[in-house]
Structure formats: structure tokens, C-alpha cells
């Protein structure tokens, strides 16, 4: 192959959507190219051996915050072993602040911005022996009407084993300063007819899980309802569609079609980020909190949508106290998952304008998480990161659906923060905790620290543990086995959806 497109995904189940766009838009060069994906857990030197076996003239690599270190090592090895191979890098991680990045110095060419068409032009020049004017090529913002859709680039293995990403629009009208989408000032929608034709083709090939990467899916009601109706008309058990939506925009037309979806078929990722209006103003985020609450109530009470809501720790002006107030409000709104994220300083984002006033200090290493700021010192920030990790293990996992009500009580944030600090001291780790061990920690905390009767806690914990059909009873719960009947252990798998599949 003359051209090999590659990247290092975070997990095998992920698929590199950008690479598929690049190949689909290579024109006459498409048949002279191939895609090879690896994960960040694989050795770069092994990936290099696989790629060089194809004797490519050009290797294109996508970079992101989660793989930049691996890509840098890969790039260094490639240019040592095969210096004549032209190395092209692109992606969000190398679209800004190029002067500080070693991988930029290693690469022959760097494509910034959206490289769907710019990469093809570069390959034409290189393969035809022409010298590009600059080694830094600005892909800019692409007119989506000029793009070849990439969905035929998903092969049978992708359909069988990987998440299938799709997009009906690009860009975001909002200016949230922590987000790269804030730099693309307009929303560009794809022509729905050919797009839905491609969705039909994927469906016919057996795809039943569609993850939309649009940043503002519900921006235009007629656009959104047509897509929702398309999937609703084709519903069968196993169909699952994920959208990212604006939390304060849910007009009646959308409500009615959302309500028609059966359980387990629809997930909304809802970015709230903060309930503090002053903090929202600091990051240029516009949000109507009254409408947001009303929409959450509707989704919770009138639909079967699985709601995944986001809050961020470390935003400029947000204290742990105000974050906790927001967390409590969100728990009250009742989403199935609350993703507690930690602020990251993505390259090129305007969040840096707050560095001096709010004393923002970020790690210089990927993923560039906040270390401390004016309102949260390093020690407390580390505590909040543990809070986020343990919340994911306990609050979001679906493994403690009933027991969680005991853990949270009437003061969810303070209660779980206390549990998080205790668990950190007991476990001495945030990773590698088995479910059985984690279940025992929860039991011990509730009975020994909270002083709740084991006769109350035990049956509830065991019911949660066995709900997905686990027949084994942990030793410390055996005395409660006769209190948990088959009927109370329903077969609801409580699966974490989308990113947990």
C-alpha cells in the first residue's frame, strides 16, 4: 500500500472515525491505501513492524490527548528505521501549540484542523514528486457538502466488534472555553438524504448501536426529529442510539418522539458542567437552568431515555462547596449516570485566559488535567479526582443500584465524599479493585462507619450483587442468602450503556 492510515485507540472496541473519513476522501488514491488500528496498550515497535510490512510511502497518524505519548514514540521509531517513509500527523492534539511538541519536529508534515480533504491533496503531491509549500498544512474548517461519507470504511470486523461512530453535523454554536468545539463557530449539517441512506446501509449490515458524535444534536428540531423517526421506524430489540444534546432545549416535537422510544434504545449525553451561574459565565456557557430542570423531569418521568449527565471539577471560580451543591442538584434530577469529569486544558482552547486570575495550574503531561487553582489546592483536587473515580465505580456502574440510596442519604455530595476518603484509605488504590472486594468495602462502610444495621444493609447489598445473575454468594454475605429470593433478584442487567458496552 502506498498509504497507511493508523492510530492508537484507547480501547479495541473504539474505532477511529477520522481515519475512515481520510480514506473515504482520498479519491483515486483510496485503493492504494489501508487502515490499521492499534490500542495504546500495544507496543509502538510492534505496530511499526505491522505497518512497514506493507512498505508504505506515506504513513498518516491521528493524534489525541490519550495517545500522543505513544504516537511520539511510534514516530521516532519510524523515522529511525525507515527515514524515507513520509510521516504525516494530524488530529486535535497537533492542531494548536505546535512549537512545543516533539512529535511535530519528528514528522515530515503536520495537518492541522479538519484534514479530510487536505490530507488527500498532500498525498497527491508527495506521490507525484511535488514539494508542498510548507510542512505545516492548515486543513481549516471543511465544507461538509464536499465530503465523501465514510461509512463504507467500516468493515465486517468493525460491525461485529466495535462502536460505530456517525455524525449528522459538525460544529457547535456555543463557546464553552474548555472545549475545542468552541473554536468552530458554526454548525454545518450534512444532507440528510444521503446520510440516512448510509445509516440504512449500516443497519442492513447488522449495525444496531449508533453513536452520534454531533455536539448539538437537538439544535434544529426538524433535523433531530427526522433522524429519531428513522431509527424508531426500524426499532427491534438490541437497537441502541446515542446522542449528545443541549440540556435546555427540548421542544414538544422532540418530546413526543423521544417518549415513543422503548426502554434501552435511546441514550442522551447531557453536558451541564456546572450549576453555578457565575462559573458558567466565566467559561462563556449559556444555560437556562429552569428549562434544564424541566427537561430532566420530563425525561425521567415520561420517557425511558438513559441520561448520562456531565459535571466538571476545577472550572475557574468553582469551589468544592459550589460543585457539591451542583452535584446534589443533579442527583435530585435523577439521571442514570453522572460523569464527574476533571477539567483538562486542551491545546488551543481559550480556558487559558483564566490562568492568572484563578491561578490555574495544569499538568504538562497528557491528559493535561488541572492540578490546582485559586479555590482548590492540590491536595483537595487530588481528593476530588478520587471522588470522581470512586463515583464511577460505585455510582455509575449499575452494580449498587439499591445500595447507593443508603450511601447518599439526604446529602449525596458530602456523604459520598466521606465514603470516597474512607475507601481511599482502606483500599490504597483507585484501580484493580474487584467487584467482590468493592462490595465488601461498601458493606463495611455502611455497617461499621455509618452504623446501619447489617440486617438492613446485607440483603440490599446481596440483591445488588446478584442482580445480573451472579449465582455466587460472597462469604461475608452468606448469612443473608435466605433473605434474598429469586424474585427479588430480577434479571435486569443494569448495563452501563454507550461507553460501558
Question: How much is the average pLDDT of 279-300?
Answer: 95
Confidence at residue 294, expressed as pLDDT on a 0 to 100 scale: 96
Whole-number average pLDDT of the chain: 93
| pLDDT tens track for 309-356 | 999 999 999 999 999 999 999 999 999 999 999 999 999 999 999 999
Nearest CA to 415 out of 393, 385, 438, 395 is that of: 395
Structural domains in the chain, CATH included, are 3-142 (3.40.50.280), 163-350 (3.80.30.20), 394-501 (no CATH)
CA–CA distance, 5 with 23 (Å, rounded to integer): 8
Report the run of H or E that residue 259 belongs to, with start and end. Answer: helix 252-259
Question: How much is the average pLDDT of 462-486?
Answer: 86
**Residue 25 in grid coordinates:** 476522501
Q: Which residues contact 194 (CB under 8 A, 6 or more apart)?
A: 149
Share of the chain above pLDDT 90, in %: 88
Confidence at residue 501, expressed as pLDDT on a 0 to 100 scale: 34
Share of the chain above pLDDT 70, in %: 97
**Residue 110 in grid coordinates:** 503536520
| pLDDT tens track for 138-196 | 998 899 999 999 999 999 999 999 999 999 999 888 889 999 887 777 889 999 999 99
Confidence at residue 498, expressed as pLDDT on a 0 to 100 scale: 35
Phi/psi region, residue 471 (left: phi>0; alpha: psi -120 to 50; beta: rest), is: alpha
Side-chain half-sphere CA neighbours of 400 within 13 A: 26
Confidence at residue 183, expressed as pLDDT on a 0 to 100 scale: 79
Question: What are the backbone angles phi and psi of residue 88, rounded to the nearest 5°?
Answer: -120, 130
Confidence at residue 141, expressed as pLDDT on a 0 to 100 scale: 86
| pLDDT tens track for 87-136 | 999 999 999 999 999 999 999 999 999 999 999 999 999 999 999 989 99
Strands of 93-138, DSSP E? 109-112, 136-138
Burial state string for 297-325 with b = 16 or more CB within 10 A and e = fewer than 16? eebeeebebbbbbbbbbbbbbbebebbbe
Specify the DSSP class assigned to residue 445.
I
Confidence at residue 472, expressed as pLDDT on a 0 to 100 scale: 87
Report the run of H or E that residue 372 belongs to, with start and end. Answer: strand 370-372
Confidence at residue 108, expressed as pLDDT on a 0 to 100 scale: 98
Burial of 31 (0-12, 13-18, 19+ CB in 10 A): exposed
Instruction: Identify the band that residue 374 occupies on the pLDDT scale cut at 50, 70 and 90.
Output: very high
Are 435 and 399 contacting, i.e. CB atoms less than 8 angstroms apart?
yes
| pLDDT tens track for 422-442 | 999 999 999 999 999 999 999
> Other CB atoms closer than 10 Å to residue 68's CB: what's the count?
24
Judge whether residue 8 has pLDDT over 60: yes
Stated pTM of the model: 0.91
Amino acid at each position: 500500500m502506498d498509504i497507511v492510515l493508523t492510530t492508537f485507540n484507547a480501547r479495541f472496541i473504539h474505532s477511529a472515525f477520522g481515519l475512515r473519513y481520510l480514506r473515504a476522501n482520498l479519491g483515486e488514491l483510496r485503493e492504494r491505501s489501508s487502515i490499521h488500528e492499534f490500542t495504546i496498550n500495544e507496543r509502538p515497535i510492534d505496530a511499526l513492524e505491522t505497518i512497514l510490512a506493507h512498505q508504505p510511502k506515506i504513513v498518516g497518524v491521528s493524534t489525541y490527548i490519550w495517545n500522543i505519548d505513544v504516537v511520539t514514540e511510534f514516530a521516532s521509531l519510524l523515522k529511525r528505521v525507515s527515514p524515507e517513509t513520509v510521516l504525516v500527523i494530524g488530529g486535535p492534539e497537533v492542531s494548536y501549540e505546535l512549537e512545543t511538541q516533539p512529535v511535530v519536529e519528528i514528522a515530515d508534515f503536520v495537518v492541522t484542523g479538519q484534514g479530510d480533504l487536505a490530507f488527500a491533496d498532500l498525498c497527491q503531491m508527495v506521490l507525484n514528486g511535488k514539494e508542498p509549500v510548507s510542512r505545516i498544512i492548515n486543513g481549516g474548517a471543511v465544507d461538509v457538502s464536499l465530503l465523501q461519507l465514510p461509512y463504507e470504511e467500516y468493515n465486517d470486523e468493525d460491525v461485529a466488534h466495535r462502536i460505530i461512530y456517525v455524525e449528522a453535523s459538525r460544529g457547535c454554536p456555543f463557546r464553552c472555553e474548555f472545549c475545542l468545539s468552541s473554536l468552530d463557530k458554526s454548525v454545518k449539517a450534512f444532507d440528510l438524504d444521503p446520510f440516512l441512506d448510509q445509516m440504512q446501509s449500516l443497519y442492513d449490515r447488522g449495525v444496531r448501536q449508533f453513536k452520534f458524535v454531533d455536539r448539538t444534536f437537538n439544535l434544529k428540531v426538524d433535523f433531530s426529529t427526522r433522524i429519531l423517526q428513522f431509527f424508531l421506524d426500524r426499532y427491534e430489540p438490541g437497537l441502541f442510539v446515542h446522542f449528545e444534546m443541549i440540556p435546555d432545549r427540548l421542544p414538544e416535537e422532540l418530546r413526543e418522539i423521544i417518549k415513543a422510544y422503548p426502554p434501552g434504545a435511546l441514550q442522551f449525553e447531557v453536558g451541564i458542567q456546572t450549576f453555578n451561574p457565575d462559573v458558567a459565565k466565566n467559561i462563556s456557557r449559556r444555560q437556562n437552568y429552569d428549562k434544564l430542570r424541566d427537561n430532566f423531569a420530563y425525561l425521567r418521568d415520561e420517557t425511558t431515555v438513559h441520561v448520562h449527565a456531565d459535571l466538571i471539577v476545577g472550572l475557574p471560580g468553582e469551589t468544592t462547596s459550589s460543585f457539591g451543591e451542583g452535584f446534589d442538584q443533579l442527583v435530585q434530577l435523577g439521571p442514570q449516570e453522572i460523569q464527574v469529569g476533571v477539567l483538562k486544558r486542551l491545546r488551543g482552547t481559550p480556558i487559558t485566559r483564566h490562568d492568572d486570575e484563578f491561578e490555574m495550574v495544569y499538568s504538562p503531561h497528557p491528559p493535561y488535567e488541572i492540578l490546582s487553582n485559586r479555590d482548590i489546592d492540590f491536595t483537595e483536587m487530588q481528593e476530588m479526582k478520587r471522588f470522581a473515580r470512586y463515583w464511577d465505580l460505585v455510582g455509575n456502574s449499575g452494580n449498587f443500584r439499591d445500595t447507593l440510596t443508603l450511601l447518599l442519604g439526604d446529602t449525596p455530595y458530602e456523604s459520598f465524599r466521606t465514603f470516597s476518603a474512607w475507601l481511599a484509605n482502606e483500599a490504597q488504590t483507585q484501580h484493580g479493585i474487584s467487584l467482590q472486594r468493592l462490595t465488601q468495602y461498601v458493606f463495611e462502610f455502611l455497617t461499621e462507619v455509618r452504623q446501619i444495621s447489617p440486617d438492613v444493609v446485607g440483603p440490599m447489598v446481596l440483591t445488588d450483587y446478584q442482580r445480573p445473575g451472579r449465582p455466587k454468594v460472597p462469604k461475608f454475605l452468606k448469612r443473608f442468602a435466605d433473605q434474598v429470593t429469586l424474585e427479588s433478584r430480577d434479571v435486569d442487567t443494569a448495563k452501563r450503556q454507550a461507553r460501558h458496552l
